[in-house]
Amino acid sequence: MAEVNAQMVKSLRSRTGAGMMDCKNALVEAAGDEDKAVEIIQKKGLAKAAKKAGAIAAEGKVHAYIHPGDRIGVLVEVNCQTDFVARNEDFQRLVDLIGLQIASMSPEYVRREDIPADALDRQKRLYQEQIAEEDERTGKKRPEQAVGKIVEGKLNKWMTETCLLEQPSIEDEGGKKTIGEVQNELSAKIGEKIAVRRFVRFELGEGIEKKKVDLAADVAETLKSAGN
């Protein structure tokens, strides 16, 4: 059996963010093979992270992301349980990814549970009105049960698009891995709860009523002035 020394433990801890004893035990179990020890920690981390799902994550990072061109900015808070993990490179990469995701995909909420009831009701009424208009236009009224299923499907799609954790990660070329899954994978890897708490997205000029210019009238006025 290979002897496990402090340098091996330090190296494994740097890769995984796991505790010193967890690293030492994994190295002993893996007979000193660091790659196998990483796998052991990851497998144990899945169970460990699940147990810590209700744990308090008060450490982490508030990250500011400014998109090239300075027209979009994001502030996001991502939490973990220890300051050691907050300094972990994988955690830092996750935070960077989340900032870019918010800037690019414009989510409105972190998770479904954050959506206010009135916002859900508003979307539901919108879809019901759209279906009613389609029925009136085609002259074919759909059964109430069918309308309910259509509305439910549209609501589910809207929530997937508007909730950060359900959006496909922009770094996943296949578009199959969501931000929530990326977050949970890292949580399992390091054995510590990680959670996006809140964010705000700014876009230059957003909410400002811009002056509307009637180009034709403006040109006509310019020509009239020139004639005088």
Domains in the chain (CATH in brackets) are 1-51 (1.10.8.10), 116-158 (no CATH)
Q: What pLDDT score does 13 carry?
A: 77
pLDDT along the chain (228 residues), means of 10: 80 73 86 86 61 67 94 96 90 96 96 94 93 90 90 93 95 84 87 91 84 61 62
Has this prediction a pTM greater than 0.85? no
State the chain's maximal CA–CA distance in angstroms. Answer: 100
The runs of H, that is alpha helices, within 3-143 are: 6-16, 20-29, 34-51, 83-86, 89-105, 117-138
Distance CA 105, CA 203 (A): 12
Q: What pLDDT score does 167 carry?
A: 95
Q: What pLDDT score does 212 carry?
A: 61
Question: Which residue has 């959006």 as its token pair?
Answer: 167
For residues 101 and 167, the answer to whether their CB atoms sit within 8 Å is yes
Distance CA 144, CA 154 (A): 15
For residues 196 and 98, the answer to whether their CB atoms sit within 8 Å is yes
Question: Which residue has 């169970």 as its token pair?
Answer: 47
Q: What pLDDT score does 154 carry?
A: 94
